[in-house]
Amino acid sequence: MGNQLVMYEEELQQINGICDGLHRDSNAKAVLVIDKNGQAIASAGEVDQLDVTSLSSLTAGNVAATGGIASLLKEKEFAGQFHEGEKTHVHISLVAQRVILLVLFDERSSLGLVRLRVRKAANELAAVLDALIKKMEAGSQPSVFAEITDADIDNLFND
């Protein structure tokens, strides 16, 4: 299964840094980085009251559906999505075909500012993902699975 995403301490710190920067520079309420398949990777801002797991899965479903619509319309991809709420607005974009950047903001910010800052953050994020994928492909890092035995897996299911 060569199709997995692996996250290491070093890259996660970089991604967290990008999240923090975007949160600050765009005056956002919260920023999430989500794997295209719906797993949360990193976040910044007011996330304590958020159900990050649910939000991640639904956002990924939304992006997948929107991508599906784009291909039906023979569009390559829609650049981003914006949902306007009464208090909270949502900006969603896909980065490097791999991860999703979700920004929640309110009247302290604006769509224009968010768009501008997202563009910069997306470029930075794409560079980190590139490096991460090279690292994964090089296989230079020891895998947790090298240590896990069949007995470990069996034990997980004995109750």
Which residues contact other proteins (rule: CB under 8 A)?
1-9, 12-13, 35-39, 41, 51, 53-54, 57-58, 61, 64-65, 68, 72, 141, 143-148, 150, 152-157
Q: How far is the CB of 60 from other proteins (least distance, A)?
A: 9
Q: How far is the CB of 138 from other proteins (least distance, A)?
A: 14
Cβ closer to other proteins: 9 or 84? 9
Are the C-beta atoms of 26 and 113 separated by less than 8 Å?
yes
Cβ closer to other proteins: 6 or 116? 6
Cα 6 to Cα 101, 121, 132, distances in angstroms: 18, 21, 8
- If we measure between CA atoms, which residue out of 20, 47, 28 comes closest to residue 108? 28
Buried b (16+ CB within 10 A) or exposed e, 97-132: ebbbbbbbbeeebeeeebbebbeebbebbeebbeeb
Q: How far is the CB of 125 from other proteins (least distance, A)?
A: 16
Cβ closer to other proteins: 13 or 123? 13
Q: How far is the CB of 116 from other proteins (least distance, A)?
A: 29
CA distance linking residue 26 with residue 109, whole number of Å: 7
Cβ closer to other proteins: 85 or 142? 142
